[in-house]
C-alpha cells in the first residue's frame, strides 16, 4: 500500500484521544483557511469513544462547532432512530451534546425508503453543499473511517461493484456479506479528502490491518488498499491490539 502513516497507541482510550486531537487541529486549520470544516463521520463502534471525547472538555469548548458541517461516510438502510443507525450513534455520543447548528447536520434520509433513492438524494445534498462541479469530486476537510475485519472501509466491501464506481458520489450496493443494502460514499470522494483518518482497535482487526498495510496489493479482497489520499497521506490510528501483527519499527 502506498504512502500512509501509522500511529500506534496503547489502547482505545489513547487512540480516541489522538484522533480527537487531530480532529480538533483540523477543525481549526480548515475554519481559518476555508471558513468551515466539512467532515464525513464513520459508523460502527470504534469511533464512539472519540465522539464522546469531542463532546467533553477540553474539546467541547475548544472546537468552533458553528463552523463544523457533519456528513457520514456510510449508513445502514434503517430509520435515523434505529440502534444500527450510524447517525443515531453519532447523535447520541456527540451531536446532541455540542452547540452544532442543526442545519449543519447532513444525514442520509433513509426514511425515503428505496436505497437507490436515498443514495441519489444524498448525492444531491452533497452537490448543493459542495457546489455542482462539472467534473471532479467534492473535497471534505476530513473523512473518518473504520476498518472491517474483512478489510472493508465505509460500506465498500470486498468484491463489491461499488469499488469500481468513478462517476457517482454516493451508491447503495447490495452487500452479499450482510444480506442487506448499504449506503456509501464512493472511493473517489474518500481519496479526494484533505485528510483521511482510519481508526482501528482490537485484536480482531490485527490480521486485516497487517494485510491491508503490508500484504500483497489485492484491493478487491482488501478495499482499504484502495485508499490513496490525493492530498497527503492516509493516517492510520491503531491501538496495540490491532497493530499486534505489524512488525515493530526499528
HEC sequence for 116-132: HHHHHHHHHHHHHHHCC
Phi/psi for 9 (5° steps) reads -115, 160
Q: Closer to ligand 6PG at the Cβ: 44 or 219? A: 44
What are 210's three cell numbers?
A: 497487517
Least Å distance, CB 111 to ligand 6PG, is 18
Residues paired with 7 in a beta bridge: 237
Q: Closer to ligand 6PG at the Cβ: 67 or 154? A: 154
What are 25's three cell numbers?
A: 487541529
Least Å distance, CB 86 to ligand 6PG, is 5
Q: Give 91's contacts (C-beta < 8 A, 6+ positions apart).
A: 80, 105
By rule CB under 6 A, what string of x and - marks binding of each residue 16-55 to ligand 6PG? --------------------------xxxxx---------
Closest CA to 191 of 215, 166, 174, 209: 166
Least Å distance, CB 43 to ligand 6PG, is 3
C-alpha to C-alpha distance for 48 and 120, rounded to whole angstroms: 27
Q: Is 104 in the site for ligand 6PG (CB under 6 A)?
A: no
Cα→Cα distances 31→24, 103, 166, 240, Å: 11, 17, 29, 33
Least Å distance, CB 249 to ligand 6PG, is 25
Q: Closer to ligand 6PG at the Cβ: 67 or 172? A: 172
Q: Is 172 in the site for ligand 6PG (CB under 6 A)?
A: no
By rule CB under 6 A, what string of x and - marks binding of each residue 141-170 to ligand 6PG? -----xxx---xxxx---------------
Choosing from 74, 141, 211, 239, the residue that interacts with ligand 6PG (CB under 6 A) is 74
Q: Is 13 in the site for ligand 6PG (CB under 6 A)?
A: no
**Residues 78, 84 contacting (CB under 8 angstroms):** yes
Residue 117's CB is within 10 A of a number of other CB atoms, namely: 12
Q: Is 86 in the site for ligand 6PG (CB under 6 A)?
A: yes
Site residues (vs ligand 6PG, CB under 6 A): 42-46, 74, 86, 146-148, 152-155
Amino acid at each position: 500500500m502506498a504512502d500512509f502513516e501509522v500511529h500506534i497507541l496503547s489502547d482505545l482510550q489513547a487512540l480516541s484521544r489522538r484522533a480527537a486531537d487531530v480532529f480538533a487541529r483540523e477543525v481549526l486549520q480548515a475554519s481559518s483557511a476555508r471558513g468551515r470544516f466539512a467532515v464525513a463521520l464513520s459508523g460502527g463502534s470504534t469511533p464512539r469513544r472519540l465522539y464522546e471525547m469531542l463532546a467533553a472538555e477540553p474539546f467541547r469548548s475548544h472546537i468552533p462547532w458553528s463552523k463544523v458541517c457533519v456528513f457520514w461516510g456510510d449508513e445502514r438502510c434503517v430509520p435515523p432512530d434505529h440502534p444500527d443507525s450510524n447517525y443515531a450513534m453519532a447523535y447520541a455520543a456527540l451531536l446532541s451534546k455540542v452547540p452544532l447548528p442543526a442545519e449543519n447536520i447532513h444525514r442520509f434520509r433513509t426514511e425515503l425508503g428505496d436505497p437507490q433513492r436515498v443514495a441519489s438524494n444524498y448525492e444531491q445534498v452533497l452537490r448543493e453543499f459542495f457546489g455542482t462541479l462539472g467534473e471532479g469530486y467534492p473535497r471534505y476537510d476530513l473523512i473518518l473511517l473504520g476498518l472491517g475485519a474483512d478489510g472493508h472501509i465505509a460500506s465498500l466491501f470486498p468484491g463489491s461493484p461499488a469499488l469500481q464506481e468513478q462517476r457517482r458520489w454516493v451508491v447503495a450496493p447490495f452487500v452479499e456479506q450482510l444480506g442487506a443494502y448499504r449506503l456509501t460514499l464512493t472511493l473517489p470522494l474518500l481519496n479526494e479528502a484533505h485528510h483521511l483518518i482510519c481508526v482501528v482497535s482490537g485484536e480482531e482487526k490485527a490480521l486485516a490491518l497487517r494485510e491491508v498495510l503490508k500484504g500483497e496489493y489485492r484491493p478487491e479482497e482488501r478495499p482499504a488498499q484502495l485508499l490513496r489520499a490525493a492530498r497527503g497521506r492516509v493516517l492510520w490510528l491503531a491501538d496495540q491490539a490491532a497493530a499486534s501483527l505489524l512488525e515493530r519499527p526499528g
